[in-house]
Structure formats: structure tokens, C-alpha cells
Amino acid sequence: MDLNGKTCFIFDLDGTVYLGDRPIQGTVDFIKRNLGRKEIFFLTNNTSRNLADYAGKLARLGLEAGVERILSPLLPLVEHLKEQGIRRLYPVGNASFRAFLRERLPGVVFTAGGACQAVVLAYDTQLSYAKLAASCLLLQRPGVRFLSTHPDLICPSARGPLPDTGSFVKLYEAATGRLPERVFGKPDPAILAPLLRRFRPEEMVMVGDRLSTDKVLADNAGIDFILVLSGEARRADLAALERQPALVVEDLGGY
């Protein structure tokens, strides 16, 4: 695969650029070498942090990206809430998630009352039984909509895999019989819509560590995929794939 022909690089974060607070140095070095030479963006499904949080974390790794280079399910979620006129909702998310919604949706009302229009599920690192109970009661009302930021079952960490939003969805299905009507983030190509309007698919490449989200997103968007073996996927997993990644590496340190 000729990386010189690629104009736009989209990097997953967890498991690709870093693992927890530990940088994946080869890939970080590749990004540093190419910042300013290539159009580089960062994409995460993790909605426990907002865009400014991720820009700050990248800056601590020496990667000055800015919030305009961060792609997250938070962006298409907010657009959907605006389009649907949803202003009264119950957020199952942490303080960072709630702050982002208040910033991007002036006038939004968080409520478990009778006028609630939707339950919005994010990666809630402050999840409590009280939140689960309130949201499950809301979802027993047919008129209350159910939205989720992303489908990931686990979130990688330096300590090991942690339960993520997809795991929470299984709990809601068991308790209420309902599944989200819309799940944002990878592998839905809508998360790449701003880039697909700017670049031709052949100019773009997705770099990630997960086959179920990163690779499927690339396939859905019609762009090339580089698998890095620094996170979830292992080389043995490739045998089951119908379509192989364009490139498989430990990290991008050698490029």
C-alpha cells in the first residue's frame, strides 16, 4: 500500500494512538512526522469525554490537533437531536457528556418527567442504579425515543477491557425489551460525512485496531483500512475476514 498517495488519514484513538495513558509510540511518531503534510483527523467512539478533552489529551502527547480535528458520535448525535426537535431528554452519560450537550444544544432540558422526548445513552463512567431505573421507566412509555451514541461492547484500557455502551444496551433490552432506534458512531459512515464531502474515497485511509468497528466503518465508507495490532485485534483474527485490510502492522513506526 502506497501511503504517499493518501491525503486524508483518520486515526482511531483508544488502542491505536494510545492505550489508557500510554502512547503507542510508533504511531504517535508517524503522526508527528506527517502533521502539516497530510490532513490528519482523530476518531473515537468513546463518549465519556468530549472533543476538548481529547484535544487536550493529544496535546499532552505532543500532537497539537485542536477540536476541529476530532470526530466523535457526539457530533452526529447533536445534529440528529436538532433535526428531530428533541430538546427535553434524559441523558445516561457522565458530567463531560452532559456538559457537551448543554454547550451544543442551548435550551436543552434534562428531565425524567412526563414531557421527556428521548433517553440518550452514552458511555457513562458514572453510571448508577438511579439512572438505570429512571431511564428504564421512561422507556416503558412508547412515545419516548431511545438513542445511543455507539455500539462498542467494551472499551480498551491499560487494565483490560471495560464494559462500554453496547453492553449497557443489552441490559436495557433485557429490562425493557427495547433497542435504540439509532446508534451513532463507528461503523455508521455518517460519522465521516464531513470528510467524505471534502476528499475522494481513494484519498482517504482509516487506521484502527478494531475489526468490528474501525474496519467495518472503512468498508462501509468505501475507503482503505490499516489494521494496527496495538489494541484489540490479533493477526489470527484475519483468517475469518472476507476482505483483508490494505495493510497490517504492529504500529506505523516504520512508515
Q: Which pLDDT tens digit goes with each residue over 67-100?
A: 999 999 999 999 999 999 999 999 999 999 999 9
Rounded mean pLDDT, 129-145 = 97
The whole-angstrom separation of Cα 183 and Cα 165 is 10
pLDDT at 21: 85
Q: Which fold has domain 74-183?
A: Rossmann fold (3.40.50)
pLDDT at 25: 96
pLDDT at 118: 98
Q: Answer yes or no: are the C-beta atoms of 88 and 119 closer than 8 Å.
A: no
* 3-72+186-249 against 74-183: fold identical: yes
Task: Tell me which of 2.60.40.680, 3.40.50.300, 3.30.43.10, 3.40.50.1000 is the CATH number of domain 3-72+186-249.
Answer: 3.40.50.1000
Where does the pLDDT of residue 2 fall: very low under 50, low under 70, confident under 90, or very high at 90 and above? confident
Q: How many CB atoms lie under 10 A from the CB of residue 144?
A: 19
Per the confidence metrics, is the pTM higher than 0.85? yes
At residue 189's C-alpha, the angle toward residues 197 and 219, to 5°, is: 105
The whole-angstrom separation of Cα 248 and Cα 213 is 16
Helices 74-84 and 95-104 meet at what angle, rounded to 10? 50
pLDDT at 243 over 90: yes
Q: Answer yes or no: are the C-beta atoms of 235 and 39 closer than 8 Å.
A: no
Q: Where are the domains of the chain?
A: 3-72+186-249, 74-183
Nearest to 45 by CA among 54, 57, 32: 54
Rounded mean pLDDT, 1-17 = 93
Rounded mean pLDDT, 168-185 = 97
The whole-angstrom separation of Cα 38 and Cα 21 is 25
Give the strand pairing for 22-23 and 70-71. Answer: unpaired
The whole-angstrom separation of Cα 145 and Cα 80 is 12
